[in-house]
Amino acid sequence: MKELQTLFSGSSGSVRSSPPGGGAVLLRFTAKWCKPCQNIAPRFQELAASGKFSGTEFLTVDIDRAMDVAAAYGVKSVPTFVLLGAGGKPELRRITGGDMQQLEAALSKHN
């Protein structure tokens, strides 16, 4: 089972451009006060643990604890998902809101 990682700030952690295997990276921008974020968290964890997208690293970024990371990715609202390509390629897809079907479709297309 893939371990989910949480990023806090540029000083204590950073967003890697790609996972150790060179696959895609999915960033989930969230906040503790965000109800939609909390509602989709279990589904996000299930998706990460499913093994269906084993080439993708799933990372969570708390925007209140990692304002620098959120700013670097231009996050204006949460939940926001940013899918980065293999080898640190530019952003492949951005999804704002909790549409897990849209998220799965994006992962399938780029995995």
Of residues 25, 27, 37, 70, which has the active-site annotation? 37
- Selecting among 7, 25, 27, 34, the annotated active-site residue is 34
Q: Is 86 a catalytic residue?
A: no
Active site residue 60: no
Between the CA atoms of 45, 47, 51 and 53, what dihedral angle is there, to the nearest 10 degrees?
Answer: -120
Residue 4 carries which DSSP code?
A: P
Residues identified as active-site: 34, 37
